[in-house]
């Protein structure tokens, strides 16, 4: 089951559709880009709490990667987080704002979710036997495969998929989310949108043909 969260309008800019996916429209939600207000977080948490965590979740651009923490809150057994991202997203709350953000959500998850026993960045070498939640930011990919407004890594789609397959070979996967991209409002050109749509289609096709997730 795919769930698409539309916050920035990036999928509208791309013209990307996924037949049969559940859609949550938050385009009118305020104070949620990069840093999420407490009011916006409550609205997102209520909506996500009604969704099945054991699916493939498309959570807009990397500005909203903090939404992963809300999916993690819905897990009911000990688990590991496998994160593929060009940034660790584990900053301390240096501003003292108490706001969840795209830069601190991993650290917040470490502090707030006792069932999350460890997290691993950009590796398929996940020790132990605990199940895994998989979170992917497209900025881990090279510009050949993704266009974002964050600094990017050098991974290819094939390398990313191979890493996912290796994790699935040794661990049960509880859920998956994917973020990343860039909107026209932030400078995306038609070629940027086309690159991201190509990669979304490849990843969606992979997950559809390889049912990884088991609750």
Check whether 94 has a pLDDT greater than 70: no
Q: CA 54, CA 101: separation in Å to the nearest integer?
A: 23
As to burial, measured by CB atoms within 10 angstroms (0-12 exposed, 13-18 middle, 19+ buried), residue 54 is middle
Cα 118 → chain centroid: 17
Going by pLDDT thresholds of 50, 70 and 90, the confidence category of residue 215 is very low
Mean pLDDT of the chain: 94
70-86: per-residue pLDDT in tens? Answer: 999 999 999 999 999 99
Check whether 214 has a pLDDT greater than 70: no
- Say which CATH class 2-209 falls into: alpha beta
Q: CA 166, CA 176: separation in Å to the nearest integer?
A: 15
Q: Which of 45, 49, 35 is nearest to 105 (CA)?
A: 35
Annotated domain spans of the chain: 2-209
12-69: per-residue pLDDT in tens? Answer: 999 998 999 999 999 999 999 999 999 999 999 999 988 888 999 999 999 999 999 9
Sign of CA dihedral 182, 149, 91, 177: positive
139-169: per-residue pLDDT in tens? Answer: 999 999 999 999 999 999 999 999 999 999 9
Task: Return the percentage of the chain with pLDDT > 70, whole number.
Answer: 97
Q: CA 138, CA 179: separation in Å to the nearest integer?
A: 6
């Amino acid at each position: 089951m795919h769930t698409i969260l539309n916050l920035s309008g990036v999928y509208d800019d791309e013209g990307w559709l996924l037949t049969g996916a559940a859609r949550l429209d938050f385009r009118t939600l305020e104070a949620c880009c990069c840093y999420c207000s407490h009011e916006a977080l409550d609205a997102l948490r209520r909506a996500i709490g009604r969704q099945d965590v054991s699916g493939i979740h498309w959570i807009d651009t990397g500005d909203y990667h903090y939404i992963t923490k809300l999916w993690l809150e819905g897990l009911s057994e000990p688990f590991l987080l496998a994160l593929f991202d060009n940034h660790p997203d584990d900053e301390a709350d240096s501003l003292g704002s108490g706001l969840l953000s795209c830069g601190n959500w991993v650290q917040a998850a470490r502090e707030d979710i006792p069932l999350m026993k460890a997290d691993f960045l950009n590796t398929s070498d996940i020790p132990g036997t605990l199940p895994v939640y998989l979170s992917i930011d497209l900025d881990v990919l090279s510009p050949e495969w993704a266009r974002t407004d964050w600094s990017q890594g050098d991974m290819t789609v094939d390398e990313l998929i191979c890493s996912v397959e290796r994790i699935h070979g040794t661990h049960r996967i509880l859920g998956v989310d994917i973020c990343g991209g860039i909107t026209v409002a932030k400078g995306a050109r038609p070629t940027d949108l086309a690159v991201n749509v190509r990669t979304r289609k490849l990843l969606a096709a992979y997950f559809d043909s390889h049912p990884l997730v088991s609750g």
